[in-house]
Structure 1
């Protein structure tokens, strides 16, 4: 029993179960426990910006080959675009087949306050030029301080390219960053000890605020979203994994700690630092991990794409708006733009949905009020799908580049059979 409690996975599961119990039995108290999850996410976000910056710089700077950098980046972006477009199409297909919004009583749940989302959506211009301009930071120090992922990535790529062009002269800088990033991962390991408490607080808040009954009212949509994401992971990502000769089920089992953390916090960003560390242990090279994983958090949001397409059509169905095939294709085109750059934090999908509907006036933007009660539950599904999708993308690009090392995967994925006790203990942390 004591040995099981020392396992982080077990402690996170216990935290989630206790959180649900507190939310059901003491809803008012449960709502107040959101602060526990907020503190944990702030602690994680505190180290994300420097870790992303340093790992991208190390990844590109250590390559020393400008063509290789461009090749890896190009393959990653093409992969992201194909898979996210496919996820949007799958969402549209399922929601049109199931029709969860048809016959929905919009009056029963209207009146929710959506101003915080529409205002944020209005503040963010989702046009192509505005999106491109937002990638370039006005001030890199400010971007690092605010944790703005895209500007940080942009500057890190330029920094890394400059180091790669310098060749051997940049090696002391690469070595320094490698030692420094180890220090930051040490901080992450300390923060991760608090993840069961964060999962407890997040689940207590979710159940306490919205209640288990909120699941019943929009159960058909939630069921459709969960089933679609499950099928996407097993069939689409599983098919990609099979083509590139690795097993999706074993991969999911390997990142179970990160999945449970995301389940508890509803934020794929909370697992970013540990995910990068684990992908290296899985067998992916440091340069590929450093470039693909952070980029994927902005450009490869498979779960968010599925959610956005299904939620938009659900609202149209609920309000009796009959869209033509061309209008749905137009909506898909808008979503292909607005879904890019959405942060992996709770609520970002909601803001992006509001921005999408504002650019597509055929669907009433006030319809997002229908989703207020259950968005938190669906955010967990999309965050987990995003996490798994980015992991698969990293393995695929590594294999494309022959930067995947089978010895490392056997050591990390099958610790019981291969690793020494010391390595196994480290992997379980």
Structure 2
């Protein structure tokens, strides 16, 4: 039985999917039953890394959705629109959908799930998070019997490459970003990566799967690495830490009505050098799941690129194909993408969260300044793990003081920081980062 595949997009990932489907030798036997029937592209005359029959190419993606020979629609075009509308149109036509589009799922996942539930079709999203790392299915199935306490990860390869280079070479952020763009690791407009938006899309999806309820994507506190100074990476190393862009979703308990309270965020974070995520370098991704009773489980591998992401897309296609072969249809919604999640979730007030903090202050090189800073922290009940004065600027008679706190409520830390900022000897808060 041949299963017709319609492909929306033939960029890096789409070409990778096509390559797998066109070379089934040595792969799972079901791959040989998958046939590309229609492919939507922007430009019919553009050179492509894969050779496809001209008759299956089109520039109108709606033709892919409407083609009766297409049994499964694969969306790898990216962006919010028309991708969202095309996914919904495919569902309305009763066709299962495989997508790698984390931006659409993070923002419109509930709408898409509701439509899929009504039509009784699958929408699978393994490639939307972590590239070739299998994390979606494990969260839905393998770890389903656990109480998930925290999901944290390095889920953007561009920023991890930049931070790895900054740590290894002491290079400036701007210089490494330019190299990443030349190498194709970063887009010409890198904002989604370096400002944390891409990671926020992904942690929104993972938190929904881990805790069973949707959260508002736009409400996730998000800070990228675009304002990170190389000296903070250097100071962190001297103090036994590495700096990574970490996306985290942590369960802080439940309200009386059963609503799960979540702390979900993306931020540059200091990790102790023995932390499992600290050794993730280059463009690799890793996701650490902490649960009861499983303990700590980490998923590691390439988080982007044609091969890894296409591998995840085809895995989802095969999942649907296997169901069709076993049952004779592709119906039945994935229950953990359903609109009726199994419990409500909400983001907590960030002021009530507990955090460890790294703070770099530019101060006058005056006797007693460290004591006055310590007093401001003590007045708000903030316990200091370490406080270090680094080499002062002899030209301006300045000092740089780096403080790492123990775990403290965020409101207390912010009040202490306001008092510190008001001290005459404190010239600037140069950096404030999270610490694990």
**TM-score (normalizing by structure 2):** 0.24
Higher relative contact order (CA 8 A, sep 6+): 1
Q: Return the structure number with greater strand share.
A: 2
Q: Which structure has the bigger radius of gyration?
A: 2
Q: Return the structure number with greater helix share.
A: 1
